[in-house]
Amino acid sequence: MNCRRVSQLIPYYVSGELPVEQSPAFLAHLKSCPKCAYELESMERAQRALEQPFSRFEPPSVLAAVKNEVCAQQTHRRLSGRWAFAGAAALGLAMCIGLWQARPLPAPSDLAVQKAVTQHTGTSLTRDAVATPEAAPDRTPQPEVYASSKSPQPRAADTTHQPDRSSRKQKPRPAAPGAPPLETQTLADGTRIYYIDSLPPEADLAECAELLPTDGDTIPLAEPMPVTTAGVSPIPRPEALAGVRMASIGRTNRHNAEATAPGGGIRATLSPNHAIYDSP
């Protein structure tokens, strides 16, 4: 048995755990090796030091602090849970709003476009003020009509439908007593004119969608307006658009409509709250 092995076994010997079969060789080596004997002596001193009785110290009382901390953690966890719930609810709400915004164009958007067109192309669209395509270029203030050459299917308005929030924003135009709420007129060239103002405010939105302007429809403009340059203008119409019949008008999204003059030089994007014009 060499010194390295003896050094490994010394702790076992001191603690009384040295295997019996190794004891003779271990003790024989200690007798012949002063270095290992000193190490054993040293280990026995250390072992005696470790085996002395140790002081016991009275613990400080932390029971109240422990309970306070536990309560604080539980409160924090509850609050965190509530915040997580609120966050999840907000996320769900945001997703619902996003899905609603991204849905296919529904009837209310059509009504918004219709409102935009109404606001930006004239203030009075009445049956009594029908303008024919021939009468438009005289630049005299004219009442405005909405004519569709695509001839969407006319249908009788259902006055029993529930009013819509968007329709409430429109200026109510009382229909003539006894007059049908929606009428059409067919011009000599076959163009069928629909009177937008005759739409009852409570008209069903889905049915209104059928009457919205689409590409190829024409709409006469009237009332000279201040000239504006391109950009967002709170002023409804530029003078350049006054009296111009738009060659096409169509929806760009659920709130906006785009009107284009026959020559293509004037374009206007209309919305209920503002208009964006491209100057000729």
Q: Does 49 bind another protein (CB under 8 A)?
A: yes
Q: Of 42-50, 94-102, 119-127, 258-266, which part binds another protein (CB under 8 A)?
A: 42-50
Q: Is 70 in the site for another protein (CB under 8 A)?
A: yes
59 contributes a contact to another protein by CB under 8 A: yes
Q: Mark the segment that binds another protein (CB under 8 A) among 19-27, 38-46, 94-102, 103-111.
A: 38-46
Q: Is 3 in the site for another protein (CB under 8 A)?
A: no
1 near another protein (CB under 8 A): no
Stretch that binds another protein, among 8-16, 83-91, 130-138, 234-242 (CB under 8 A): 8-16
Assess 79 for contact with another protein (CB under 8 A).
Answer: no
Each residue 13-32 as x (binds another protein by CB under 8 A) or -, in order, gives -xx-x---------------
Q: Which residues pair with 257 in a beta bridge?
A: 251, 270
Cα–Cα distance, 115 to 99 (Å, whole number): 24
Residues in touch with another protein (CB under 8 A): 10-12, 14-15, 17, 42-43, 45-47, 49-52, 54-63, 65-67, 69-70, 73
